[in-house]
Amino acid sequence: MKAAGHTQLERSERLELPKGRVAIGTMHLAKGLEYKAVAVMACDDDVLPLQERIETVADESELDEVHDTERNLFYVACTRARDRLLVSGVKPASEFLADLADTRPRAA
């Protein structure tokens, strides 16, 4: 961020964001906020859904709940972008990326 000439601010529970800064934070903290541009990074298969959560499930219904929660979290993060959204990751990519293709506006 510094090399690009930007001042960063790590998002925390603080609600007010000073103008002229780039906010960096978790998807959990993005709920209810809006930004001109958003980058959702590390959308890799072993990161999203979070592999540690998947490894702790006890049964199929709990696995479905983890997937639903993680998918919703990804959706919230992506919908915080007002003008531009960048989603990045490495192969194999998260299965949730297919959801983005399903939400693009259709030509009339």
- CATH number of domain containing 44: 3.30.160.800
Asked if residue 7 is part of any domain, the answer here is no
Asked if residue 32 is part of any domain, the answer here is yes
Any residues with CB less than 8 A from the CB of 57 and at least 6 apart, and which?
63, 66
Q: Which domain holds residue 76?
A: 28-102
Looking at the whole model, is its pTM more than 0.75?
no
Residue 6's pLDDT is: 65
Q: Return the residue matching tokens 């001109």.
A: 36
User: What is the total count of domains within the chain?
Assistant: 1
Residue 52's pLDDT is: 87
Asked if residue 17 is part of any domain, the answer here is no
Residue 43's pLDDT is: 92
Task: List the pLDDT tens digit at each of the 108 positions of the chain.
Answer: 667 776 665 555 555 555 667 777 788 888 888 888 899 999 999 889 888 888 888 888 899 998 999 999 999 999 999 999 999 999 999 999 888 776 555 454
Asked if residue 13 is part of any domain, the answer here is no
Asked if residue 10 is part of any domain, the answer here is no
Asked if residue 73 is part of any domain, the answer here is yes
Residue 108's pLDDT is: 45
Q: How far is CA 92 from CA 44, 46, 95, 105, in A?
A: 6, 8, 9, 26
